[in-house]
Structure 1
Protein backbone atom coordinates (compact mmCIF):
# COMPACT_ATOMS: atom_id res chain seq x y z
CA UNK A 1 0.00 0.00 0.00
CA UNK A 2 2.81 2.42 0.85
CA UNK A 3 4.44 1.77 -2.52
CA UNK A 4 1.18 2.54 -4.33
CA UNK A 5 0.61 5.69 -2.33
CA UNK A 6 4.17 6.83 -2.98
CA UNK A 7 3.65 6.43 -6.75
CA UNK A 8 0.25 8.10 -6.76
CA UNK A 9 1.19 11.12 -4.66
CA UNK A 10 4.03 11.86 -7.08
CA UNK A 11 1.59 12.13 -10.01
CA UNK A 12 0.46 15.64 -10.88
CA UNK A 13 -2.54 14.36 -12.82
CA UNK A 14 -4.10 12.52 -9.87
CA UNK A 15 -6.35 13.58 -6.99
CA UNK A 16 -6.11 11.09 -4.14
CA UNK A 17 -8.93 10.32 -1.71
CA UNK A 18 -8.70 7.62 0.92
CA UNK A 19 -10.72 5.68 3.46
CA UNK A 20 -9.19 4.30 6.65
CA UNK A 21 -11.77 3.12 9.18
CA UNK A 22 -9.08 2.44 11.77
CA UNK A 23 -9.55 6.09 12.62
CA UNK A 24 -6.72 7.00 10.26
CA UNK A 25 -4.15 4.85 12.03
CA UNK A 26 -2.81 3.32 8.79
CA UNK A 27 -3.04 6.26 6.39
CA UNK A 28 -2.49 9.19 8.74
CA UNK A 29 1.22 9.39 7.82
CA UNK A 30 0.07 10.17 4.27
CA UNK A 31 -2.52 12.74 5.34
CA UNK A 32 -0.58 15.70 3.96
CA UNK A 33 -0.51 14.03 0.53
CA UNK A 34 -4.14 12.90 0.52
CA UNK A 35 -6.72 15.43 -0.68
CA UNK A 36 -9.53 13.90 1.38
CA UNK A 37 -9.36 11.27 4.12
CA UNK A 38 -12.40 9.53 5.66
CA UNK A 39 -11.86 7.83 9.02
CA UNK A 40 -15.45 7.02 10.09
CA UNK A 41 -18.25 5.02 8.40
CA UNK A 42 -20.27 8.20 7.94
CA UNK A 43 -17.35 10.02 6.33
CA UNK A 44 -16.63 7.01 4.11
CA UNK A 45 -20.21 6.90 2.87
CA UNK A 46 -20.17 10.63 2.15
CA UNK A 47 -16.81 10.40 0.37
CA UNK A 48 -17.90 7.57 -1.94
CA UNK A 49 -21.23 9.30 -2.58
CA UNK A 50 -19.39 12.46 -3.67
CA UNK A 51 -17.14 10.36 -5.89
CA UNK A 52 -20.21 8.97 -7.67
CA UNK A 53 -21.48 12.52 -8.20
CA UNK A 54 -18.13 13.42 -9.79
CA UNK A 55 -18.29 10.25 -11.89
CA UNK A 56 -21.75 11.15 -13.17
CA UNK A 57 -20.67 14.70 -13.96
CA UNK A 58 -17.66 13.48 -15.91
CA UNK A 59 -19.79 10.95 -17.79
CA UNK A 60 -22.13 13.76 -18.84
CA UNK A 61 -19.12 15.85 -19.92
CA UNK A 62 -17.76 12.99 -22.03
CA UNK A 63 -21.15 12.64 -23.70
CA UNK A 64 -21.30 16.35 -24.52
CA UNK A 65 -17.79 16.25 -26.01
CA UNK A 66 -18.44 12.97 -27.86
CA UNK A 67 -15.40 11.55 -26.08
CA UNK A 68 -15.04 8.00 -24.82
CA UNK A 69 -12.41 8.32 -22.11
CA UNK A 70 -11.32 10.99 -19.66
CA UNK A 71 -7.67 11.81 -20.33
CA UNK A 72 -6.08 12.88 -17.02
CA UNK A 73 -4.02 16.06 -16.88
CA UNK A 74 -3.01 18.44 -14.08
CA UNK A 75 -6.04 20.58 -14.99
CA UNK A 76 -8.42 17.58 -15.29
CA UNK A 77 -6.91 14.97 -12.97
CA UNK A 78 -7.97 11.40 -12.38
CA UNK A 79 -9.69 10.70 -9.07
CA UNK A 80 -8.33 7.65 -7.27
CA UNK A 81 -9.95 6.40 -4.07
CA UNK A 82 -7.87 4.12 -1.85
CA UNK A 83 -9.74 1.97 0.67
CA UNK A 84 -7.55 0.48 3.35
CA UNK A 85 -9.26 -2.65 4.71
CA UNK A 86 -12.23 -2.98 2.38
CA UNK A 87 -13.69 -5.74 4.56
CA UNK A 88 -14.00 -3.24 7.38
CA UNK A 89 -15.87 -0.88 5.07
CA UNK A 90 -18.28 -3.65 4.07
CA UNK A 91 -19.11 -4.48 7.67
CA UNK A 92 -19.24 -1.00 9.18
CA UNK A 93 -20.61 1.04 6.27
CA UNK A 94 -22.71 -1.34 4.16
CA UNK A 95 -24.54 1.49 2.42
CA UNK A 96 -21.19 2.74 1.11
CA UNK A 97 -20.74 -0.52 -0.80
CA UNK A 98 -23.42 0.50 -3.31
CA UNK A 99 -21.35 3.58 -4.14
CA UNK A 100 -18.19 1.47 -4.37
CA UNK A 101 -19.94 -0.92 -6.75
CA UNK A 102 -21.02 1.97 -8.95
CA UNK A 103 -17.46 3.30 -9.12
CA UNK A 104 -16.02 -0.14 -9.87
CA UNK A 105 -18.57 -0.73 -12.64
CA UNK A 106 -18.59 2.69 -14.31
CA UNK A 107 -15.52 4.58 -13.21
CA UNK A 108 -12.87 3.51 -15.72
CA UNK A 109 -13.79 5.77 -18.64
CA UNK A 110 -14.40 8.90 -16.47
CA UNK A 111 -11.10 8.22 -14.62
CA UNK A 112 -12.68 7.67 -11.20
CA UNK A 113 -10.92 4.57 -9.94
CA UNK A 114 -11.00 2.46 -6.80
CA UNK A 115 -8.13 0.66 -5.07
CA UNK A 116 -9.40 -1.77 -2.44
CA UNK A 117 -7.05 -3.47 0.02
CA UNK A 118 -8.04 -6.07 2.59
CA UNK A 119 -6.39 -8.52 4.97
CA UNK A 120 -9.59 -10.55 5.17
CA UNK A 121 -10.76 -11.48 1.64
CA UNK A 122 -14.01 -13.08 2.79
CA UNK A 123 -16.98 -13.74 0.53
CA UNK A 124 -19.08 -11.36 2.55
CA UNK A 125 -16.56 -8.58 1.97
CA UNK A 126 -15.39 -9.22 -1.59
CA UNK A 127 -17.39 -11.98 -3.23
CA UNK A 128 -20.88 -10.55 -3.62
CA UNK A 129 -20.22 -7.08 -4.99
CA UNK A 130 -19.14 -5.66 -8.34
CA UNK A 131 -15.83 -4.55 -6.89
CA UNK A 132 -14.14 -7.93 -7.18
CA UNK A 133 -15.54 -8.80 -10.62
CA UNK A 134 -14.55 -5.42 -12.07
CA UNK A 135 -10.98 -5.42 -10.75
CA UNK A 136 -8.71 -6.13 -13.74
CA UNK A 137 -5.51 -5.74 -11.72
CA UNK A 138 -5.26 -7.91 -8.61
CA UNK A 139 -2.41 -8.52 -6.20
CA UNK A 140 -2.48 -11.34 -3.68
CA UNK A 141 0.13 -11.74 -0.98
CA UNK A 142 0.40 -14.66 1.40
CA UNK A 143 -2.97 -15.90 2.66
CA UNK A 144 -3.95 -18.53 5.21
CA UNK A 145 -6.01 -20.77 2.96
CA UNK A 146 -6.02 -21.54 -0.80
CA UNK A 147 -9.67 -20.53 -1.08
CA UNK A 148 -8.68 -17.00 -0.04
CA UNK A 149 -6.28 -16.84 -2.97
CA UNK A 150 -9.00 -18.05 -5.36
CA UNK A 151 -11.36 -15.43 -3.98
CA UNK A 152 -8.89 -12.65 -4.78
CA UNK A 153 -7.36 -13.92 -8.03
CA UNK A 154 -10.15 -16.03 -9.48
CA UNK A 155 -11.39 -19.58 -9.21
CA UNK A 156 -8.75 -22.20 -10.01
CA UNK A 157 -5.74 -19.87 -9.96
CA UNK A 158 -4.25 -21.38 -6.79
CA UNK A 159 -4.89 -24.98 -7.87
CA UNK A 160 -2.20 -24.72 -10.55
CA UNK A 161 0.38 -23.84 -7.93
CA UNK A 162 0.61 -20.23 -8.98
CA UNK A 163 1.83 -21.11 -12.48
CA UNK A 164 -0.58 -18.79 -14.26
CA UNK A 165 1.91 -15.95 -14.29
CA UNK A 166 4.60 -14.82 -16.72
CA UNK A 167 8.17 -16.02 -16.09
CA UNK A 168 11.37 -14.94 -17.90
CA UNK A 169 12.37 -17.39 -20.62
CA UNK A 170 15.84 -17.42 -19.05
CA UNK A 171 14.20 -19.21 -16.12
CA UNK A 172 11.27 -21.05 -17.71
CA UNK A 173 12.70 -21.85 -21.16
CA UNK A 174 10.87 -21.80 -24.49
CA UNK A 175 8.74 -24.91 -24.06
CA UNK A 176 5.53 -22.96 -23.51
CA UNK A 177 2.51 -21.98 -25.56
CA UNK A 178 2.30 -18.32 -24.55
CA UNK A 179 4.93 -15.61 -24.28
CA UNK A 180 4.91 -11.93 -23.38
CA UNK A 181 7.21 -8.95 -23.53
CA UNK A 182 7.54 -6.66 -20.52
CA UNK A 183 7.74 -2.96 -21.42
CA UNK A 184 8.62 -1.62 -17.99
CA UNK A 185 11.83 0.31 -18.61
CA UNK A 186 13.45 2.15 -21.50
CA UNK A 187 16.80 3.33 -22.79
CA UNK A 188 16.25 6.79 -21.38
CA UNK A 189 17.80 8.85 -18.61
CA UNK A 190 16.91 7.02 -15.40
CA UNK A 191 15.70 3.97 -17.34
CA UNK A 192 12.00 4.90 -17.03
CA UNK A 193 9.44 4.78 -19.82
CA UNK A 194 8.15 7.93 -21.48
CA UNK A 195 4.86 7.90 -19.54
CA UNK A 196 3.23 5.74 -16.87
CA UNK A 197 0.85 4.34 -19.52
CA UNK A 198 3.89 3.22 -21.50
CA UNK A 199 4.56 0.57 -18.87
CA UNK A 200 2.75 -2.51 -20.07
CA UNK A 201 3.01 -6.27 -20.59
CA UNK A 202 2.09 -7.50 -24.07
CA UNK A 203 1.47 -11.08 -25.11
CA UNK A 204 3.53 -12.03 -28.15
CA UNK A 205 1.89 -13.49 -31.26
CA UNK A 206 2.95 -17.01 -32.19
CA UNK A 207 4.99 -15.77 -35.17
CA UNK A 208 7.10 -13.51 -32.95
CA UNK A 209 7.48 -16.18 -30.27
CA UNK A 210 8.73 -18.71 -32.84
CA UNK A 211 11.16 -16.16 -34.29
CA UNK A 212 12.56 -15.49 -30.81
CA UNK A 213 12.86 -19.21 -30.15
CA UNK A 214 14.93 -19.66 -33.31
CA UNK A 215 16.97 -16.55 -32.50
CA UNK A 216 17.75 -17.95 -29.05
CA UNK A 217 19.09 -21.13 -30.66
CA UNK A 218 21.27 -19.18 -33.10
CA UNK A 219 22.56 -17.00 -30.28
CA UNK A 220 23.60 -20.08 -28.32
CA UNK A 221 25.59 -21.21 -31.35
CA UNK A 222 27.28 -17.79 -31.60
CA UNK A 223 28.16 -18.01 -27.91
CA UNK A 224 29.82 -21.39 -28.36
CA UNK A 225 31.70 -20.19 -31.43
CA UNK A 226 32.95 -17.03 -29.70
CA UNK A 227 34.26 -19.00 -26.72
CA UNK A 228 36.19 -16.82 -24.29
CA UNK A 229 35.58 -13.77 -26.48
CA UNK A 230 31.88 -13.85 -25.56
CA UNK A 231 30.83 -10.98 -23.27
CA UNK A 232 27.58 -11.86 -21.54
CA UNK A 233 25.38 -8.78 -21.11
CA UNK A 234 22.15 -10.81 -20.92
CA UNK A 235 20.89 -9.18 -24.12
CA UNK A 236 18.26 -10.59 -26.48
CA UNK A 237 19.78 -8.79 -29.46
CA UNK A 238 23.54 -8.34 -29.50
CA UNK A 239 26.66 -8.72 -31.63
CA UNK A 240 28.24 -12.10 -32.38
CA UNK A 241 30.32 -11.69 -29.21
CA UNK A 242 27.48 -10.60 -26.90
CA UNK A 243 28.11 -6.85 -26.83
CA UNK A 244 25.37 -4.21 -27.35
CA UNK A 245 24.44 -3.36 -30.92
CA UNK A 246 25.35 0.04 -32.34
CA UNK A 247 22.33 2.08 -33.51
CA UNK A 248 23.85 2.64 -36.97
CA UNK A 249 24.40 -1.10 -37.39
CA UNK A 250 20.77 -1.78 -36.43
CA UNK A 251 19.52 0.68 -39.05
CA UNK A 252 21.86 -0.78 -41.68
CA UNK A 253 20.72 -4.34 -40.96
CA UNK A 254 17.08 -3.20 -41.09
CA UNK A 255 17.60 -1.57 -44.49
CA UNK A 256 19.03 -4.86 -45.77
CA UNK A 257 15.87 -6.62 -44.60
CA UNK A 258 13.57 -4.13 -46.35
CA UNK A 259 15.71 -4.32 -49.50
CA UNK A 260 15.47 -8.11 -49.57
CA UNK A 261 11.70 -7.79 -49.05
CA UNK A 262 11.49 -5.66 -52.19
CA UNK A 263 10.24 -2.46 -50.55
CA UNK A 264 13.38 -0.38 -50.88
CA UNK A 265 15.83 0.97 -48.31
CA UNK A 266 14.12 4.20 -47.24
CA UNK A 267 12.88 2.70 -43.98
CA UNK A 268 13.74 2.91 -40.26
CA UNK A 269 12.90 0.52 -37.38
CA UNK A 270 10.64 3.20 -35.92
CA UNK A 271 8.29 2.79 -38.87
CA UNK A 272 7.45 -0.73 -37.71
CA UNK A 273 5.35 0.98 -35.04
CA UNK A 274 3.35 2.81 -37.72
CA UNK A 275 2.92 -0.43 -39.64
CA UNK A 276 1.63 -2.13 -36.51
CA UNK A 277 -0.98 0.59 -35.93
CA UNK A 278 -2.05 0.36 -39.57
CA UNK A 279 -2.46 -3.42 -39.43
CA UNK A 280 -4.41 -3.30 -36.17
CA UNK A 281 -6.71 -0.57 -37.45
CA UNK A 282 -7.28 -2.35 -40.76
CA UNK A 283 -8.33 -5.45 -38.84
CA UNK A 284 -10.98 -3.48 -36.96
CA UNK A 285 -9.20 -3.26 -33.60
CA UNK A 286 -10.79 -0.42 -31.53
CA UNK A 287 -8.74 2.77 -31.21
CA UNK A 288 -8.77 2.41 -27.41
CA UNK A 289 -7.09 -1.00 -27.66
CA UNK A 290 -4.53 0.28 -30.17
CA UNK A 291 -3.67 3.15 -27.81
CA UNK A 292 -3.11 0.66 -24.98
CA UNK A 293 -0.93 -1.56 -27.17
CA UNK A 294 1.37 1.26 -28.27
CA UNK A 295 1.47 2.76 -24.76
CA UNK A 296 -0.32 6.04 -25.34
CA UNK A 297 -1.96 7.82 -22.41
CA UNK A 298 -5.13 8.33 -24.45
CA UNK A 299 -6.64 7.91 -27.90
CA UNK A 300 -6.06 11.53 -28.94
CA UNK A 301 -2.30 10.95 -29.23
CA UNK A 302 -2.85 7.82 -31.31
CA UNK A 303 -5.29 9.62 -33.59
CA UNK A 304 -3.00 12.65 -34.02
CA UNK A 305 0.32 10.86 -34.57
CA UNK A 306 -0.98 7.92 -36.58
CA UNK A 307 -3.91 9.54 -38.39
CA UNK A 308 -2.62 8.31 -41.78
CA UNK A 309 -2.43 4.75 -40.49
CA UNK A 310 -5.89 4.62 -38.94
CA UNK A 311 -8.75 3.24 -40.97
CA UNK A 312 -11.55 5.85 -41.13
CA UNK A 313 -14.24 4.84 -38.67
CA UNK A 314 -16.91 6.47 -40.85
CA UNK A 315 -16.71 3.60 -43.36
CA UNK A 316 -17.74 0.97 -40.84
CA UNK A 317 -21.45 1.71 -41.11
CA UNK A 318 -21.44 1.32 -44.87
CA UNK A 319 -19.38 -1.85 -44.70
CA UNK A 320 -21.77 -3.35 -42.18
CA UNK A 321 -24.82 -2.50 -44.27
CA UNK A 322 -23.13 -3.99 -47.35
CA UNK A 323 -22.47 -7.17 -45.41
CA UNK A 324 -26.09 -7.41 -44.30
CA UNK A 325 -27.87 -6.41 -47.51
CA UNK A 326 -25.19 -6.98 -50.15
CA UNK A 327 -23.65 -4.37 -52.43
CA UNK A 328 -25.84 -4.85 -55.48
CA UNK A 329 -27.92 -1.85 -56.53
CA UNK A 330 -31.66 -2.11 -56.00
CA UNK A 331 -33.83 -2.22 -59.09
Structure 2
Protein backbone atom coordinates (compact mmCIF):
# COMPACT_ATOMS: atom_id res chain seq x y z
CA UNK A 1 0.00 0.00 0.00
CA UNK A 2 1.11 3.56 -0.74
CA UNK A 3 -0.98 4.98 2.10
CA UNK A 4 1.94 5.65 4.44
CA UNK A 5 4.40 6.81 1.79
CA UNK A 6 5.18 10.26 0.40
CA UNK A 7 3.09 9.38 -2.65
CA UNK A 8 -0.09 9.77 -0.58
CA UNK A 9 0.81 13.09 1.00
CA UNK A 10 0.13 16.63 -0.16
CA UNK A 11 2.85 19.27 -0.15
CA UNK A 12 2.80 23.04 -0.18
CA UNK A 13 6.21 23.22 -1.93
CA UNK A 14 8.19 20.52 -3.73
CA UNK A 15 11.74 21.34 -4.80
CA UNK A 16 13.58 19.09 -7.24
CA UNK A 17 17.34 19.78 -7.40
CA UNK A 18 19.71 18.36 -10.03
CA UNK A 19 16.63 17.77 -12.17
CA UNK A 20 18.71 16.70 -15.18
CA UNK A 21 19.26 13.35 -13.43
CA UNK A 22 15.51 12.69 -13.78
CA UNK A 23 15.14 13.63 -17.43
CA UNK A 24 15.20 10.11 -18.91
CA UNK A 25 11.84 8.29 -19.00
CA UNK A 26 11.77 5.62 -16.32
CA UNK A 27 11.07 5.06 -12.63
CA UNK A 28 12.83 8.24 -11.45
CA UNK A 29 11.08 10.42 -14.01
CA UNK A 30 7.62 9.00 -13.27
CA UNK A 31 8.12 9.15 -9.48
CA UNK A 32 9.11 12.82 -9.64
CA UNK A 33 6.15 13.64 -11.88
CA UNK A 34 3.82 12.04 -9.31
CA UNK A 35 5.36 13.98 -6.41
CA UNK A 36 5.07 17.22 -8.34
CA UNK A 37 1.37 16.58 -8.91
CA UNK A 38 0.93 16.48 -5.12
CA UNK A 39 2.42 19.96 -4.62
CA UNK A 40 0.89 23.43 -4.79
CA UNK A 41 4.21 25.13 -5.61
CA UNK A 42 6.81 23.36 -7.74
CA UNK A 43 10.43 24.40 -8.16
CA UNK A 44 12.61 22.42 -10.57
CA UNK A 45 16.29 23.35 -10.52
CA UNK A 46 19.40 22.33 -12.40
CA UNK A 47 22.81 23.91 -12.95
CA UNK A 48 23.68 21.32 -15.58
CA UNK A 49 20.92 21.19 -18.21
CA UNK A 50 22.18 18.19 -20.14
CA UNK A 51 20.46 18.04 -23.51
CA UNK A 52 21.70 15.29 -25.79
CA UNK A 53 18.49 15.12 -27.85
CA UNK A 54 15.21 17.06 -28.26
CA UNK A 55 13.50 14.44 -26.07
CA UNK A 56 15.54 15.78 -23.11
CA UNK A 57 13.91 19.20 -23.54
CA UNK A 58 10.49 17.53 -23.63
CA UNK A 59 11.31 15.62 -20.43
CA UNK A 60 12.36 18.79 -18.63
CA UNK A 61 9.17 20.45 -19.90
CA UNK A 62 7.10 17.70 -18.25
CA UNK A 63 9.00 18.10 -14.98
CA UNK A 64 8.29 21.83 -15.01
CA UNK A 65 4.61 21.05 -15.67
CA UNK A 66 4.12 22.62 -19.10
CA UNK A 67 0.79 21.20 -20.36
CA UNK A 68 1.90 20.78 -23.99
CA UNK A 69 4.49 18.14 -23.08
CA UNK A 70 1.76 15.84 -21.72
CA UNK A 71 -0.25 15.83 -24.94
CA UNK A 72 -0.51 13.23 -27.69
CA UNK A 73 0.79 15.62 -30.41
CA UNK A 74 3.92 16.18 -28.31
CA UNK A 75 4.69 12.46 -28.03
CA UNK A 76 3.99 11.96 -31.73
CA UNK A 77 6.30 14.84 -32.68
CA UNK A 78 8.97 13.51 -30.31
CA UNK A 79 8.95 10.15 -32.09
CA UNK A 80 9.12 11.91 -35.46
CA UNK A 81 12.10 14.02 -34.36
CA UNK A 82 13.95 10.96 -33.10
CA UNK A 83 13.31 9.16 -36.40
CA UNK A 84 14.55 12.12 -38.47
CA UNK A 85 17.72 12.39 -36.39
CA UNK A 86 18.40 8.67 -36.75
CA UNK A 87 18.07 8.88 -40.54
CA UNK A 88 20.31 11.97 -40.71
CA UNK A 89 22.99 10.21 -38.66
CA UNK A 90 22.89 7.19 -40.98
CA UNK A 91 23.64 9.51 -43.90
CA UNK A 92 26.54 10.95 -41.87
CA UNK A 93 25.53 14.41 -43.06
CA UNK A 94 26.49 17.03 -40.45
CA UNK A 95 24.50 19.72 -42.22
CA UNK A 96 21.28 17.70 -42.18
CA UNK A 97 21.86 16.65 -38.55
CA UNK A 98 22.27 20.27 -37.46
CA UNK A 99 19.23 21.39 -39.45
CA UNK A 100 17.08 18.64 -37.92
CA UNK A 101 18.32 19.53 -34.44
CA UNK A 102 17.62 23.24 -34.96
CA UNK A 103 14.07 22.68 -36.23
CA UNK A 104 13.21 20.51 -33.23
CA UNK A 105 14.82 22.76 -30.64
CA UNK A 106 13.27 25.97 -32.00
CA UNK A 107 9.81 24.40 -31.97
CA UNK A 108 10.26 23.19 -28.37
CA UNK A 109 11.62 26.56 -27.27
CA UNK A 110 8.36 28.12 -28.38
CA UNK A 111 6.51 25.90 -25.91
CA UNK A 112 8.95 26.61 -23.05
CA UNK A 113 8.81 30.40 -23.17
CA UNK A 114 7.90 32.02 -19.86
CA UNK A 115 8.41 28.86 -17.80
CA UNK A 116 12.13 29.03 -17.03
CA UNK A 117 14.33 31.39 -15.04
CA UNK A 118 17.95 31.30 -16.16
CA UNK A 119 20.75 32.51 -13.92
CA UNK A 120 23.36 34.47 -15.86
CA UNK A 121 26.41 36.55 -15.01
CA UNK A 122 24.18 39.63 -15.20
CA UNK A 123 21.40 38.20 -12.98
CA UNK A 124 20.57 40.33 -9.92
CA UNK A 125 18.85 39.73 -6.59
CA UNK A 126 15.79 41.70 -5.34
CA UNK A 127 18.14 44.46 -4.17
CA UNK A 128 19.60 44.86 -7.64
CA UNK A 129 22.99 43.34 -6.73
CA UNK A 130 24.73 40.75 -8.88
CA UNK A 131 24.05 37.17 -7.83
CA UNK A 132 27.46 36.06 -9.07
CA UNK A 133 30.12 38.72 -8.77
CA UNK A 134 32.70 36.83 -10.81
CA UNK A 135 35.88 38.42 -12.20
CA UNK A 136 36.21 38.83 -15.94
CA UNK A 137 36.95 35.63 -17.81
CA UNK A 138 40.03 35.56 -20.03
CA UNK A 139 41.26 32.72 -22.21
CA UNK A 140 44.80 32.43 -23.54
CA UNK A 141 45.54 29.82 -26.20
CA UNK A 142 49.18 29.00 -26.68
CA UNK A 143 50.71 27.40 -29.77
CA UNK A 144 54.29 26.38 -29.10
CA UNK A 145 57.23 25.78 -31.39
CA UNK A 146 58.82 22.44 -30.53
CA UNK A 147 62.53 21.85 -30.14
CA UNK A 148 64.44 20.03 -32.88
CA UNK A 149 64.65 16.98 -30.62
CA UNK A 150 60.86 16.89 -30.17
CA UNK A 151 60.29 17.41 -33.88
CA UNK A 152 62.60 14.51 -34.69
CA UNK A 153 60.73 12.29 -32.21
CA UNK A 154 57.43 13.14 -33.88
CA UNK A 155 58.83 12.42 -37.34
CA UNK A 156 60.28 9.14 -36.13
CA UNK A 157 56.95 7.96 -34.74
CA UNK A 158 55.08 9.22 -37.79
CA UNK A 159 57.34 7.19 -40.07
CA UNK A 160 57.02 4.14 -37.82
CA UNK A 161 53.24 4.31 -37.95
CA UNK A 162 53.24 4.68 -41.74
CA UNK A 163 55.61 1.74 -42.11
CA UNK A 164 53.48 -0.41 -39.84
CA UNK A 165 50.10 0.54 -41.30
CA UNK A 166 49.05 -3.09 -41.34
CA UNK A 167 49.45 -3.27 -37.56
CA UNK A 168 48.80 0.37 -36.68
CA UNK A 169 47.05 -0.55 -33.45
CA UNK A 170 50.31 -1.82 -31.98
CA UNK A 171 52.38 0.98 -33.47
CA UNK A 172 50.37 3.82 -32.03
CA UNK A 173 50.46 2.66 -28.41
CA UNK A 174 54.25 2.39 -28.10
CA UNK A 175 55.45 5.85 -27.07
CA UNK A 176 58.65 4.60 -25.39
CA UNK A 177 61.21 2.01 -26.40
CA UNK A 178 60.12 -0.06 -23.41
CA UNK A 179 56.49 0.76 -22.47
CA UNK A 180 57.02 -0.78 -19.03
CA UNK A 181 59.76 1.74 -18.16
CA UNK A 182 58.98 4.48 -15.66
CA UNK A 183 58.50 7.99 -16.97
CA UNK A 184 61.75 10.00 -16.86
CA UNK A 185 62.57 11.91 -13.67
CA UNK A 186 64.96 14.83 -13.27
CA UNK A 187 66.71 16.23 -10.22
CA UNK A 188 67.91 19.56 -11.61
CA UNK A 189 66.90 22.07 -14.26
CA UNK A 190 70.15 21.29 -16.07
CA UNK A 191 69.15 17.64 -16.42
CA UNK A 192 65.68 18.66 -17.51
CA UNK A 193 66.92 21.15 -20.12
CA UNK A 194 68.56 18.55 -22.33
CA UNK A 195 65.48 16.33 -22.61
CA UNK A 196 62.65 18.66 -21.75
CA UNK A 197 59.13 18.68 -23.11
CA UNK A 198 58.39 22.19 -24.37
CA UNK A 199 54.76 21.99 -23.29
CA UNK A 200 55.57 20.76 -19.77
CA UNK A 201 58.31 23.34 -19.39
CA UNK A 202 56.07 26.24 -20.43
CA UNK A 203 53.25 24.94 -18.24
CA UNK A 204 55.52 24.94 -15.18
CA UNK A 205 56.84 28.43 -15.96
CA UNK A 206 53.27 29.73 -16.38
CA UNK A 207 52.39 28.39 -12.93
CA UNK A 208 55.49 29.99 -11.44
CA UNK A 209 54.63 33.31 -13.09
CA UNK A 210 51.05 33.55 -11.81
CA UNK A 211 51.94 32.37 -8.31
CA UNK A 212 54.42 35.23 -7.75
CA UNK A 213 51.53 37.45 -6.64
CA UNK A 214 47.96 38.30 -7.67
CA UNK A 215 48.73 41.36 -9.83
CA UNK A 216 51.13 39.94 -12.40
CA UNK A 217 50.39 40.72 -16.04
CA UNK A 218 49.09 37.94 -18.27
CA UNK A 219 51.48 35.82 -20.27
CA UNK A 220 51.07 35.82 -24.06
CA UNK A 221 52.42 33.93 -27.06
CA UNK A 222 54.37 35.21 -30.04
CA UNK A 223 55.61 33.06 -32.93
CA UNK A 224 55.46 29.85 -30.94
CA UNK A 225 57.12 31.26 -27.81
CA UNK A 226 55.61 32.00 -24.42
CA UNK A 227 56.26 35.58 -23.34
CA UNK A 228 56.45 36.42 -19.64
CA UNK A 229 55.99 40.09 -18.64
CA UNK A 230 58.27 41.57 -15.99
CA UNK A 231 57.08 41.14 -12.41
CA UNK A 232 57.12 43.88 -9.77
CA UNK A 233 58.57 42.41 -6.59
CA UNK A 234 56.18 43.67 -3.93
CA UNK A 235 55.65 41.49 -0.83
CA UNK A 236 52.57 43.50 0.14
CA UNK A 237 50.56 42.23 -2.85
CA UNK A 238 48.34 39.24 -1.93
CA UNK A 239 49.22 35.71 -3.13
CA UNK A 240 45.82 34.07 -3.35
CA UNK A 241 45.98 32.56 -6.84
CA UNK A 242 45.15 28.85 -7.06
CA UNK A 243 45.77 26.86 -10.23
CA UNK A 244 44.24 23.60 -11.42
CA UNK A 245 45.78 21.70 -14.33
CA UNK A 246 43.68 19.27 -16.32
CA UNK A 247 46.06 16.67 -17.78
CA UNK A 248 44.44 14.52 -20.42
CA UNK A 249 46.79 11.58 -19.86
CA UNK A 250 47.16 10.56 -16.16
CA UNK A 251 50.40 8.71 -16.93
CA UNK A 252 52.15 12.03 -17.63
CA UNK A 253 51.15 13.64 -14.32
CA UNK A 254 54.11 12.40 -12.17
CA UNK A 255 56.62 13.91 -14.61
CA UNK A 256 54.68 17.17 -14.77
CA UNK A 257 54.62 17.33 -10.97
CA UNK A 258 58.40 16.85 -10.88
CA UNK A 259 58.96 19.60 -13.45
CA UNK A 260 56.81 21.98 -11.37
CA UNK A 261 59.03 21.22 -8.37
CA UNK A 262 62.14 22.07 -10.39
CA UNK A 263 60.66 25.54 -10.87
CA UNK A 264 59.78 25.85 -7.18
CA UNK A 265 56.06 25.21 -7.61
CA UNK A 266 54.48 22.78 -5.15
CA UNK A 267 51.50 20.77 -6.34
CA UNK A 268 49.24 17.93 -5.35
CA UNK A 269 47.67 15.22 -7.49
CA UNK A 270 44.27 13.56 -7.67
CA UNK A 271 43.89 10.25 -9.49
CA UNK A 272 41.75 7.13 -9.39
CA UNK A 273 44.16 5.28 -7.12
CA UNK A 274 43.62 7.38 -3.99
CA UNK A 275 40.83 7.03 -1.44
CA UNK A 276 38.00 9.53 -1.06
CA UNK A 277 39.44 10.54 2.32
CA UNK A 278 42.88 11.20 0.82
CA UNK A 279 41.30 13.15 -2.03
CA UNK A 280 39.47 15.36 0.48
CA UNK A 281 42.73 15.99 2.36
CA UNK A 282 44.51 17.08 -0.81
CA UNK A 283 41.70 19.48 -1.69
CA UNK A 284 42.02 20.98 1.80
CA UNK A 285 45.74 21.52 1.13
CA UNK A 286 44.87 23.53 -1.95
CA UNK A 287 42.32 25.62 -0.03
CA UNK A 288 44.57 26.25 2.98
CA UNK A 289 45.85 29.86 2.67
CA UNK A 290 48.96 28.97 4.69
CA UNK A 291 49.92 25.93 2.60
CA UNK A 292 52.56 26.26 -0.13
CA UNK A 293 50.60 23.80 -2.29
CA UNK A 294 48.72 26.08 -4.66
CA UNK A 295 48.48 23.85 -7.76
CA UNK A 296 46.27 20.80 -8.26
CA UNK A 297 46.82 18.37 -11.15
CA UNK A 298 44.02 16.02 -12.10
CA UNK A 299 42.50 14.11 -15.01
CA UNK A 300 39.06 12.73 -15.76
CA UNK A 301 39.97 9.72 -13.60
CA UNK A 302 39.10 10.24 -9.94
CA UNK A 303 37.82 13.80 -10.30
CA UNK A 304 34.06 13.20 -10.34
CA UNK A 305 32.14 15.53 -8.04
CA UNK A 306 35.04 17.86 -7.24
CA UNK A 307 34.28 21.44 -6.26
CA UNK A 308 37.34 23.43 -7.28
CA UNK A 309 35.81 26.90 -7.26
CA UNK A 310 38.76 28.19 -5.23
CA UNK A 311 40.94 28.04 -8.36
CA UNK A 312 40.96 31.19 -10.48
CA UNK A 313 43.33 29.83 -13.13
CA UNK A 314 42.76 26.66 -15.14
CA UNK A 315 45.34 25.16 -17.49
CA UNK A 316 44.23 22.55 -20.02
CA UNK A 317 47.20 20.29 -20.66
CA UNK A 318 45.58 18.67 -23.69
CA UNK A 319 46.69 15.95 -26.10
CA UNK A 320 47.93 18.16 -28.94
CA UNK A 321 51.73 18.05 -28.69
CA UNK A 322 52.20 21.81 -29.01
CA UNK A 323 48.99 23.18 -27.53
CA UNK A 324 48.08 24.82 -24.17
CA UNK A 325 44.94 26.64 -23.00
CA UNK A 326 44.99 28.95 -19.98
CA UNK A 327 41.66 30.16 -18.57
CA UNK A 328 41.90 32.94 -15.99
CA UNK A 329 39.33 34.17 -13.44
CA UNK A 330 35.66 33.40 -13.22
CA UNK A 331 36.36 29.73 -13.93
TM-score by length of 1: 0.29
> Looking at CA atoms only, which structure, 1 or 2, has the larger radius of gyration?
2
**Higher helix share goes to which structure?**
1
**Higher strand share goes to which structure?**
2
TM-score by length of 2: 0.29
Higher RCO (CA 8 Å, separation ≥ 6 residues): 2
